[in-house]
Structure 1
């Protein structure tokens, strides 16, 4: 009787242990599957989560801003270059140098963005009639650039200030459009800087022209 009971107890214990092992194995497998799926899900989700951010960090307005502002800035720099030898006013020469110092680096930055975005960087122009984008806001015509090239002394100062006021006003308009429609943070920040700095320069130039 004792032997029989012992055998039954042992068999029951073995069966219980086997059942527990099966349950634990199943739980472990389920846990691993869930953990693996979760881990794999994160790995798989990471690229898809970051892709929209990478693709959406700029839009058509940002491209238009960069492609438009590059030739706009180039023309301003060319106009400012003339002041060193043609301007009479020390204030005009100082202003022209400040314009070059501000806009040259912006041209490089804008060109870098377009290259990174896989967009075309506008070709450079040279000379009075060598500028692209004359239909953009505030751009000087070829005739106006020829006029500026041929002027000197007080006549140059007046022509330069008058034209640069118009030029700056165009840049401010373009920058406001970027702020309204763009999505690239760097471009929006640059637009804000352009609005602030060039609005101040417009007031300064108008004062030199006696318009304030």
Structure 2
């Protein structure tokens, strides 16, 4: 009886030891996997000069699109409701992207202003000061058509820059944003052309 009890005690102890050993291996593996996952984070944020240029150029480009939308919406009820709805959509889509672009540039240690800022360099599709004044001073009735004409040009420039990022960029998140811009703004260009044709 005593021998049986002793044998059972040893068996239980052996089982517990084996269990703890396996748990230790499991924990070790989990930690190893977690470490592996953590070590992949820097790779995900890897970037090159194309990513920096994309972010530096798209940031003020987006900011101007939001400014143009604000100008239109400030004109009130006299603006074509479909055009006003588009302006709201542009603000909704591009405002978070402005924050993301700014965040990337800071994380990459790059200035949020393009090297071309303040040099008179015009990014593809951007409006001149004169263009912005024309939109700002247009009547509510005329502003809708002018906004569409300007924003088509603006979007075409953004799509051109985004396609370059898709082709040449290294950062996965930046390339994903560029793909989204190509898709959404190409669709909006078609929509705006249809709206203009109906005016």
Contact 1:68 1:133 in 2 (8 A): no
* TM-score normalised by structure 2 residue count: 0.73
Please report how far the alpha carbon of residue 132 of structure 1 lies from its aligned counterpart in structure 2 after TM superposition.
8.0
Q: Which of 62, 66, 87 in structure 2 is aligned with 1:77? A: 66
Task: State whether structure 2 residue 157 is matched by structure 1 residue 197.
Answer: no
Q: Unmatched 5+ residue regions in structure 2? A: 1-34
Work out the CA distance in 1 between the residues paired with 2:55 and 2:144. Answer: 29
Contact 1:75 1:131 in 2 (8 A): no
Work out the CA distance in 1 between the residues paired with 2:118 and 2:83. Answer: 23
Aligned to 2:46, the other structure's residue is in SS state coil
Aligned partner of 2:99 in structure 1 is 108
Task: State whether structure 2 residue 63 is matched by structure 1 residue 63.
Answer: no
Bigger Rg, structure 1 or 2 = 1
Aligned partner of 2:137 in structure 1 is 150
Q: Which has the higher contact order (CA 8 A, sep 6+)?
A: 2
Contact 2:44 2:172 in 1 (8 A): no
Work out the CA distance in 2 between the residues paired with 1:131 and 1:164. Answer: 22
Question: Structure 1's 185 and 117: CA in aligned 2 closer, same or farther, altered over 3 A?
Answer: same
Question: Structure 1's 163 and 187: CA in aligned 2 closer, same or farther, altered over 3 A?
Answer: same
Question: Structure 1's 190 and 75: CA in aligned 2 closer, same or farther, altered over 3 A?
Answer: same
Q: Unmatched 5+ residue regions in structure 1? A: 1-45, 124-129
Question: Structure 1's 135 and 74: CA in aligned 2 closer, same or farther, altered over 3 A?
Answer: same
Q: Which of 81, 84, 98 in structure 2 is aligned with 1:93? A: 84
Task: State whether structure 2 residue 169 is matched by structure 1 residue 169.
Answer: no
Work out the CA distance in 1 between the residues paired with 2:84 and 2:119. Answer: 25
Contact 1:59 1:184 in 2 (8 A): yes
Q: Which of 126, 130, 141 in structure 2 is aligned with 1:139? A: 126
Question: Structure 1's 149 and 68: CA in aligned 2 closer, same or farther, altered over 3 A?
Answer: same
Contact 1:65 1:175 in 2 (8 A): yes
Work out the CA distance in 2 between the residues paired with 1:131 and 1:146. Answer: 18
Please report how far the alpha carbon of residue 133 of structure 1 lies from its aligned counterpart in structure 2 after TM superposition.
7.0
* TM-score normalised by structure 1 residue count: 0.68
Question: Structure 1's 195 and 102: CA in aligned 2 closer, same or farther, altered over 3 A?
Answer: same
Please report how far the alpha carbon of residue 135 of structure 1 lies from its aligned counterpart in structure 2 after TM superposition.
1.2
Question: Structure 1's 132 and 189: CA in aligned 2 closer, same or farther, altered over 3 A?
Answer: farther
